[in-house]
Amino acid sequence: MREVMSRFATGVIVLSVGGERIHGMTANAFNSVSLQPATVLCCVSHDAVMHGAVMASRTFGISVLSADQEHLARHFADKNRPLGPEQFSGLDWRPGPVTQAPLLHGASAWLECELAETHDSGDHSIFIGGVVNFGSSSDSSGLLFFHGGFQQIRADHR
């Protein structure tokens, strides 16, 4: 199943929670659910530190990574990185104005969400977030994950 699903190109995000349980995690199981009301979903393993952080905070942030942010994707995917505030040390980020979730500078887009629904499926939870704040940058590039590796895409503006 992992091999088959690796053939589906996805965007790459950093999911984050602020406050006392500050945490970041690279993810690619992320999608828009609805425009009215604005909702998105992300899937998180029950065993992940992020699972407990989202459940406790009931809010989260999404940084949609641009093409030149592979280093951030790798950093937040590294199981050996320090946890808590230290995992953000030396990185350029700001707390989201609504949720206080860390939002990474240079991301092509960002969202802040309040947890609206949680659905368990297998070894993951599907977190559905109501979007309470969002924005995008002028950077029209994106970081993709395909067949086990990172790829870059750049929009052609005419």
Q: What is the pLDDT of residues 63-79, one digit of tens each?
A: 999 999 999 999 999 99
CA–centroid distance for 104 within its chain? 10
- Looking up tokens 């240079």, which residue turns up? 106
Domains of the chain (ranges, CATH numbers): 2-154 (2.30.110.10)
Average pLDDT, the chain: 95
pLDDT of residue 114: 98
pLDDT of residue 104: 98
pLDDT of residue 138: 87
Name the maximum alpha-carbon separation found in the chain.
45
Three-state secondary structure call for residue 155 = coil
Model's pTM, two decimal places? 0.94
H helix and E strand count, the chain: 3, 12
pLDDT of residue 95: 97
Q: Which residues of the chain have pLDDT under 50?
A: 158
